[in-house]
């Protein structure tokens, strides 16, 4: 059991027979009345989000979510195939389970697959990934880093806003959490 006072971003709990991850929380102490914790929870099985308020100190069951290091191998139709780096077992995940992560997956990338009761419920990607630009407007002489941005399509199909001076063929770092350009690779 875990107290609502111990909620942090990323904590997984069991509530109403479902597995939830705390996305955002706020501990509120009003002038009158008792304190409470306002949370935004993501259902790890369905991907839906809800806002829920817990009384301060309310106890909920902690969910045991295992993170297993796996390597992304290839896409087979609508299924993405991952291999356990220790046992070499292969596992398929759907695009729904991966969410926006499909835009940043590259072959042979090492990720953490989240398992609940031996069932895959999602993937935790590295914070940043190196991608090549396959299509963008050409950079012109005089374009500077602070001048503005333009859309660029990467090798995985993700569209990222990049500075004007970047061209097709350049390699960039992209934040997988926000989809923003971080810099040249």
Q: Which two tokens stand for residue 17?
A: 């027979």
| Whole-number pLDDT of residue 19 | 86
| Whole-number pLDDT of residue 141 | 61
Exposure b/e, 86-111, CB count within 10 A at least 16 = b? eeeeebebeeebbeebbbbbeeebeb
The string of DSSP letters for the chain reads -EEGGG--TT-EEEETTEEEEEEEEEEE--SSS--EEEEEEEETTT--EEEEEEETT-EEEEP--EEEEEEEEEEETTEEEEEETTT--EEEEEHHHHGGGGGT--TT-EEEEEEETTEEEEEE--SEEEEEEEEEPPP-TT--TTS-EEEEEETTS-EEEEETT--TT-EEEEETTT--EEEE-
| Whole-number pLDDT of residue 51 | 92
Q: Which CATH superfamily, name and number, covers 128-184? A: Nucleic acid-binding proteins (2.40.50.140)
CATH topology identical between 2-62 and 66-124: no
Matching CATH number, 2-62, of 3.90.180.10, 2.30.30.30, 1.20.1250.20, 3.30.559.10 = 2.30.30.30
Task: Work out the average pLDDT over 31-44.
Answer: 87
Answer with the residue of higher pLDDT: 95 or 159. Answer: 159
The model's pTM is 0.69
Quick one: fold of 66-124? OB fold (Dihydrolipoamide Acetyltransferase, E2P) (2.40.50)
Q: Where are the domains of the chain?
A: 2-62, 66-124, 128-184
Q: Give the lowest-confidence range in 20-24, 87-91, 105-109, 121-125.
A: 121-125
């Amino acid at each position: 059991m875990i107290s609502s006072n111990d909620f942090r971003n990323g904590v997984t709990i069991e509530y109403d027979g479902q597995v939830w991850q705390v996305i955002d929380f706020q501990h509120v102490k009003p002038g009158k009345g008792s304190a409470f914790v306002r949370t935004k929870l993501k259902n790890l099985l369905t991907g839906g989000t809800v806002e829920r308020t817990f009384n301060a100190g309310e106890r909920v069951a902690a969910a045991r979510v295992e993170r297993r290091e796996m390597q992304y191998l290839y896409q087979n139709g609508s299924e993405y195939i991952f291999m356990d780096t220790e046992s070499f077992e292969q596992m398929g995940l759907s695009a729904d389970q991966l969410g926006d992560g499909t835009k940043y997956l590259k072959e042979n990338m090492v990720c953490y697959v989240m398992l609940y009761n031996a069932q895959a419920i999602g993937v935790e990607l590295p914070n940043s990934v190196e991608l090549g630009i396959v299509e963008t407007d050409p950079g012109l002489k005089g374009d500077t880093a602070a001048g503005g941005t333009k859309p660029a399509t990467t090798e995985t199909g993700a569209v990222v806003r990049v500075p004007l001076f970047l061209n097709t063929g350049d390699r960039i770092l992209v934040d997988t959490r926000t989809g923003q350009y971080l810099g040249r690779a």
